[in-house]
Structure 1
């Protein structure tokens, strides 16, 4: 080393520091790159993405390669810096070289390149793969030896070197976070639909069904004229037929079938013909998640069904449109009243809410956080909290919301006043 000039050693030291910065930045860039975007680019034929995917397929080899290179240049830089400082400062040069090189490496070969790589991983990882891939081929025996030793040591510690095979998989909650943070990359309306799809497994048919009391149907025990009148005034394309009460349901009658019967009989309908035209009822067990029921509707070619409890009693009615509305929002043909039709915002900021209003719909429209893991209506929620049906005005607090019962009857709460300030 004595015959090498100090200026030459300084040039070599600068090159080694540059290589150290390269290896540090490459390591951070490779590990920080978005794996899902990387796969997307690779599928589109991006050569850089394909090279990075190849290197990341075995991260232990990639890390081993980078650290071998990084440690070699850092140790060499330390030796050369010591020689230079000994020439300049004598015996004190060892201390000066140690602290001085540590500061230089920390700033210019560690923090700065790693920060840049963390902010722009693709700009660092893709060009670096040009160098790292052939380096891996050349130094493969050394890298494989180092990996064998380190992997064996990890196994002794009870750690699987290969890690979890599904470590890149996203849970539904993580995917929901990704969608929420997409911001301008995905339109807000599309974000809402994607989140709604992810939420389908958390919502059951009871959350969206038309309650039993609100089901529109026709009693086939009525006289023919009354039935015809009800059919002609029906608002929906499918009408439930029943005998005396909803639990004795006969079937669903489609408007198209009604028209065919009336055309065939010159508007002279017979009750037996109406009953025979009714289609079989599709029953849905209560508690069925919406994502499951959506697939069942598709598999069974059905669009409407009656929700029944464990005893077979009818609890409500669910249509395909009800489930689709959970994804894309309300249609104009919705059977149930919109939450806005059940609420009235007062001058003082409080809100008058009908007792039959659906809690999930209220939470969505009013941006509230009333509990949805129990009763489905405001009336049911209040009765559950009190353990009784209030017969006079009273106030209570539920989940931070002050609620005043304004009007009630013998079997339900009719009207409440909600103060949403929590």
Structure 2
């Protein structure tokens, strides 16, 4: 009879340890489930995901329920183990039962189920929610009482469970998620997503064509020369100005002038009538903001002006889109020259006027972009003078040599390759 009773106690103890393992695994699984995948599945009307989402809306209640159940089961298991120990080993059985039960619970009811739940949270959390949801209703009075006490203590630290806002991602965290997506998102798509996020950190000055590189037509030029420039222009939009860019008249869409040009009916009056109003962009405008402004105003091109109204450069819709999707042929930038030329000895010849953001992107470098926007400007700021000839220096950790200086600016710079250790870092 005693043997049957002891066997029954062992069976009950095994069941309690199994239930303890269930609660331990459920706790880890519920807290480890991916909140964004969970929200997606809930939006797809997945019943299990909806149940888990409802339980996680109030994590204080969920944790309270799981810990109440777990502690009740563990206490009951401890009592039964003590009885078994006394029956089998007498007084020393209490120590044996305590040590043995601790080891069993640690291995089979804590570490193993929690590890499994951490590795496969959905497989544990979704089935567990079937039991936890009705169990919460049954034990709600006890859960409510425990939560009232714990929430009172939390309020002393300025924490409120009722105002729990769930999970949200900052732009930097979202960037990390995109990079960590691996094969789930193609590399090209990752680059585009990160490009969208980077629009917040760049302004129109970072991508604009400097005023000295803007292609345009001087209405006061010789008429034959002006027609020749118009006919041979590779751009679909040209700036028309009088004598200097500061006296800009507007933009010309070359497509509008093709027919009168072919019929030799083009005159200065026709040219002036074809001019479209200039869209001005204040310097310092973030690219994300300007993209929306282009969309709202149905514009594709604009002139960047400083606080005094002086023209600083030109920005197009295509320039902004290139920041997202990468380089493609535009109708404004002249691609007839190479700004970066690799040399047989491993060095790279770079035009001084290259945009630092473009240089960083093309060569995977890390020149600072929060000051001067071109490599020439960065070097001149560092030297605090215009070099008179060839000069070697180290700037932002990169070795370089000034090869050519012309018209008070550095025309060509030689960049030396980074060591493999530095590049991998």
The alignment's TM-score, normalised by the length of structure 1, stands at: 0.95
Q: Which moved more, 1:408-417 or 1:62-71?
A: 408-417
Separation in 2, partners of 1:44, 1:326: 33
1:270 aligned onto 2:267 = yes
Separation in 2, partners of 1:156, 1:373: 43
Separation in 1, partners of 2:39, 2:177: 16
Task: For residues 136-157 of structure 1, give each alpha carbon's deviation from its aligned partner in whole angstroms, at most 9, with x where no partner exists.
Answer: 1111122112111211222234
1:208 aligned onto 2:207 = yes
Q: How does 1:6-405 map to 2 (within 5 A)?
A: 6-162=6-162, 164-165=164-165, 167-259=166-258, 261-262=260-261, 266-333=263-330, 335-336=332-333, 341-405=338-402
Separation in 1, partners of 2:330, 2:156: 65
- Please state how far the C-alpha of 1:186 moved relative to its aligned partner: 0.8
Q: Secondary structure at the residue paired with 2:246?
A: strand
* Matched-pair contact (CA < 8 Å) for 2:236–2:331: no
* Matched-pair contact (CA < 8 Å) for 1:368–1:420: no
* Matched-pair contact (CA < 8 Å) for 1:405–1:417: yes
Q: Which moved more, 1:249-258 or 1:121-130?
A: 249-258
Consecutive unaligned residues in structure 1, runs of 5 or more: none
Task: For residues 284-304 of structure 1, give each alpha carbon's deviation from its aligned partner in whole angstroms, at most 9, with x where no partner exists.
Answer: 111111000000001111000
- Please state how far the C-alpha of 1:219 moved relative to its aligned partner: 0.3
Separation in 2, partners of 1:380, 1:292: 26
1:413 aligned onto 2:423 = no
* Matched-pair contact (CA < 8 Å) for 1:339–1:358: no
Q: Secondary structure at the residue paired with 2:99?
A: helix
Q: Which moved more, 1:80-89 or 1:124-133?
A: 80-89
Separation in 1, partners of 2:337, 2:217: 28
Count of residues in Structure 1 that have an aligned counterpart in Structure 2: 419
- Please state how far the C-alpha of 1:164 moved relative to its aligned partner: 4.4
Separation in 1, partners of 2:286, 2:160: 37
* Matched-pair contact (CA < 8 Å) for 1:285–1:309: yes
* Matched-pair contact (CA < 8 Å) for 1:391–1:410: no
Separation in 1, partners of 2:232, 2:261: 15
Separation in 1, partners of 2:395, 2:409: 17
Q: Secondary structure at the residue paired with 1:162?
A: helix
Separation in 2, partners of 1:414, 1:157: 61
Q: 1:413 to 1:248 in 2, by over 3 A?
A: same
Q: 1:326 to 1:338 in 2, by over 3 A?
A: farther
Task: For residues 151-183 of structure 1, give each alpha carbon's deviation from its aligned partner in whole angstroms, at most 9, with x where no partner exists.
Answer: 122223443233542x41100000001111111
- Please state how far the C-alpha of 1:339 moved relative to its aligned partner: 12
- Please state how far the C-alpha of 1:340 moved relative to its aligned partner: 9.0
Q: Which moved more, 1:176-185 or 1:91-100?
A: 91-100
Q: 1:171 to 1:338 in 2, by over 3 A?
A: farther
Q: Secondary structure at the residue paired with 2:143?
A: helix
- Please state how far the C-alpha of 1:261 moved relative to its aligned partner: 4.3
Separation in 2, partners of 1:16, 1:2: 21
Separation in 2, partners of 1:338, 1:7: 86
Separation in 2, partners of 1:158, 1:124: 33
Separation in 2, partners of 1:330, 1:168: 35
Q: 1:370 to 1:64 in 2, by over 3 A?
A: same
Separation in 2, partners of 1:156, 1:239: 66
